[in-house]
Amino acid sequence: MGRSILNIRNLKENEFSFLLDMMYESIFIPKNKPPKEELLNFPHIKKYHEGWGRIGDRAFIALTNENEPIGAAWYRLFKRDQKGYGYVNDFTPELGIAVKDGQRGKGIGTLLMKKLMEQALKDGYPALSLSVDPNNIEAVQLYKKLGFKQCCLSGTSWTMVYTISSNS
């Protein structure tokens, strides 16, 4: 298959349901994953999308040349009293990313992550964080390749941090 890549741009308001699909996709539960509506409404998950569009929320979408959405990457700030799984501090956005099944392994995740990292630099953030299940080998490899470092454990997941420097 030829490279029918790719347009990466800001998510539009009318594409929020695709962002929710990708948020669901990004949650690594290998067995007995609850249905989307149920899982995304668990209190510890809901905070990732509730009231989307507040200050600090950023999302990019990857589209094929045919304008089919195939992936998304996003970040959001959390406060200590409402922290996400990858929480580091109030000034470090926590990111998430997902690429549709059948589209993985083509570099789309890398492109989305780099776009998000550029945006975080423009937005003036010192770092980005994320939470990843260490059993999600492909994701862990991608994050390490991009310069994320493991900093701590949250439950069974690793919190990884990428330090942003203006000379990167």
Give a yes or no: residue 22 inside a domain.
yes
* pLDDT tens figures, 25-83: 999 998 999 999 999 999 989 999 999 999 899 999 999 989 999 999 999 999 999 88
Query: Which pLDDT does position 4 carry in this prediction?
Result: 53
Instruction: For residue 29, give the 3-state DSSP assignment.
Output: coil
Give a yes or no: residue 123 inside a domain.
yes
Query: Which pLDDT does position 5 carry in this prediction?
Result: 56
Burial label, 5 (beta-carbon count in 10 A; 0-12, 13-18, 19+): middle
The number of distinct structural domains making up the chain is: 1
| pLDDT of 147 strictly over 60 | yes
Give a yes or no: residue 38 inside a domain.
yes
Mean residue pLDDT across the chain: 92
Segments forming the whole domain that contains residue 52: 7-163
- Say what percent of the chain tops pLDDT 70: 95
**What's the token pair of residue 120?**
């975080």
| pLDDT of 139 strictly over 60 | yes
Contact 38, 54 (CB under 8 A): no
| pLDDT of 2 strictly over 70 | no
- CATH assignment of the domain containing 124: 3.40.630.30
